[in-house]
Amino acid sequence: MKKLLLCFVCFTLFTITISAQQNVKYSEDYKGVHAAIFDYVEGLYLVDSTRIARSVHPDLRKRGYWYNAEKAAYADNLDMTYQQLKNLAASWNKGGGNANNESPKIIEIYDINDRTASAKLTAEWGIDYFHLAKLDGKWYIMNVLWQSIKD
């Protein structure tokens, strides 16, 4: 009976240790994914293209759908390169007319794996869906699919 109890205690401690290690890794990855998306949105809100440079991979694929209220229609397949995104971040909110301290930046992380993750951002302009990759220990935004919100 003592051997059985000892085995049970050892197994429980082993399981708790493994679980704690996985939670730390998950927590670090969660923070990394969140930080990449936060840099993305803050880069645009704060007119700081350096935040785009540290969170978005140069091979970015970004496509979106902007709603034109005057035409009551979406402009489809608006592609944007990494450099275009950096340029946009350097000018989009100059003067503070597009975003402010009350602007939304709601980050929802859906899935994190060893090398890939997916998430959603609700921001002033609408919704962005992300695919991220972990490269050399750092999370980068690789793909963005976005849609503006109808006013």
Q: Which residue has the tokens 């936060």?
A: 38
pLDDT, tens digit only, all 151 positions of the chain: 555 444 444 444 444 444 444 454 568 999 999 999 999 999 999 999 999 999 999 999 999 999 998 999 998 878 999 999 999 999 999 999 999 999 999 999 999 999 999 999 999 999 999 999 999 999 999 999 999 988 6
**Alpha carbon distance 13, 114 (integer Å):** 25
Q: Is the pTM of this model over 0.85?
A: no
10 Å CB burial of residue 141 (0-12, 13-18, 19+) is: buried
Number of structural domains in the chain:
1
pLDDT attached to residue 150: 81
* Cβ–Cβ < 8 Å for 54, 40: no
The CA-CA-CA angle for residues 30, 110, 89, to 5°, reads: 75
- The angle that helices 82-89 and 2-45 make with each other, rounded to 10 degrees, is 70
- 56-68 and 138-148 as β-strands: parallel, antiparallel, unpaired? parallel
Three-point CA angle 148, 109, 113, nearest 5° = 130
Q: What is the CATH number of the domain that holds 23?
A: 3.10.450.50
pLDDT given for residue 38 in this prediction: 98
- Please return the burial class of 69, using the count of CB atoms within 10 Å of its CB with bins 0-12, 13-18 and 19+: exposed
Which domain covers residue 108, as residue numbers? 2-148
